[in-house]
Amino acid sequence: MGASDFQIFGLVFFITATLFGLLQVRIIYIMIRTVTFRSRECYQLMIHIGVAQLLMTPGYVFIGLSRLFTFDPWLIPLKMMVSCVRVEIGLSFVLALNRLKIILDLEYPHMLHKILTVASWIVGVVHFTFLLSPCCEYHIQAYHYITRFDYNISGSYMLQRVGSLYMLGMSGATLVAYTVIVLYMIRKRFKLLFNKASHNVISKEKSILIYAVVRFICDSTLAVLYHFGAHFLPTDVWVEAILIYSYQFNNLFIPTFLYLVVCKSVRKELIPWRKVAKVHSVQVTTSVL
C-alpha cells in the first residue's frame, strides 16, 4: 500500500467518522430531551451506550487524520476509545438483562441494573486510568491501521489480558441471556402457551430486542476478530484497513441506523421534511373538507 493509499483511506475514514459522530450527537440529544425515552430503562441504557460510542468518535477521527497527514495521533482519544469499548460491552449485558426481565416477567430488584450500569462505567474509567499511567501504553504504528497495546511496557500485556477476559465474559453472559429469551419464545409457541398477553409483551419489546441482538452479534464478531484474528487472518495492511473500518462501521454507523429503525419519534425529529410534508397534507385535506 503506497502513501497515496494511506492518505485516501485517512480522508474517507475521517469524513465518515465525523459524519456518523455528528448524527449520533443529534440522535442522543433527541433521546435525552424526550420524556418517553428518559422514563424507560431500555432507552436509558441505549442512551448510555450511545454516549460510550460518542466518546469513541475522537479516536476514529484522529486515526483518519493521522493516516491522511502522516503523523502520530494524539494518544488520549485512542485510549479513551478502547476503554469505552469495555464500557459498551458491559452496558450491552445490562440491556440483555433488561430484555430478559421484561420478556420473561422476572422478579428481582430493579436496582441491580443500575448498579451494573455504574460498574460498567467504572470499568472503563479504571481501564482508561491505567492506560494514562506509565505502566501501560496503547498506540498505532506508522503505516498501520490497527491500534495495539505496546507489550514492551510491563503492564500492557496484563491490562490487555484482563480486558480481553472481561469482554469475553460479558459476551458469554450476554449470549446466555439472549439464548434463554429465544428458548422461552420457542417454548411458548410449541407448547401453545403463547397467549395474547405474552404476545403483546414480546411484540411491544421486539424492536428493542432486535437492536440489542444486532449490537451483540456485531460486537462479539469484531471482538473475536481482534483478539484471535492473528491466528487465521493474513498479516497484510489491507486486512488491518478492513478491520479498523469494520470497527468504525460497527461503533458509529450501525447504532445510528438502528436508532432510526427502532425509534420512530427519533426518525421523525431527525428527518424534519417528513413532518413538514405530513403537516401540509393535513392542511390541504382540512381545507377541502
Q: Which ranges of 3-40 would DSSP assign to H, the alpha helix?
A: 3-33, 35-39
Asked if the structure places residue 239 within a domain, the reply is yes
Q: What is the pLDDT of residues 173-211, one digit of tens each?
A: 998 998 898 888 777 766 655 555 555 555 556 677 788
Percent of the chain with pLDDT over 90: 32
pLDDT band at residue 118 using 50, 70 and 90 as cut-offs: very high
Asked if the structure places residue 120 within a domain, the reply is yes
Ranking 13-27, 154-168, 182-196, 216-230 by mean pLDDT, the lowest is 182-196
Asked if the structure places residue 194 within a domain, the reply is no
- Residue 250 host element (H or E): none
Alpha-carbon torsion (242, 247, 250, 255), positive or negative: negative
Ranking 36-50, 90-104, 110-124, 233-247 by mean pLDDT, the lowest is 233-247
Asked if the structure places residue 226 within a domain, the reply is no
The 10 Å CB-count burial string (b at 16+, else e) for 28-67 is: bebbeeeeebeeebbbbbbbbbbbbbbbbbbbbbbbbbbb
Supply the range of the domain harboring residue 33: 3-95+107-167+232-283
Average pLDDT over residues 128-143: 89
Residue 143 DSSP label: T
Total tally of structural domains belonging to the chain: 1
Take residue 6 and report the three cell numbers written for it.
494511506
Beta strands of the chain (E only): which ranges?
138-140, 147-149
Asked if the structure places residue 279 within a domain, the reply is yes
Residue 140 DSSP label: E
Asked if the structure places residue 119 within a domain, the reply is yes
Mean pLDDT of the chain: 82
Q: What is the pLDDT of residues 263-279, one digit of tens each?
A: 777 777 776 555 444 44
Q: Count the neighbouring beta carbons within 10 Å of the beta carbon of residue 184.
A: 15
The pLDDT assigned to 1 comes to 57
Average pLDDT over residues 52-56: 94
Question: For residue 59, what is the domain's CATH number?
Answer: 1.20.1070.10
Asked if the structure places residue 289 within a domain, the reply is no
pTM: 0.83
Asked if the structure places residue 73 within a domain, the reply is yes
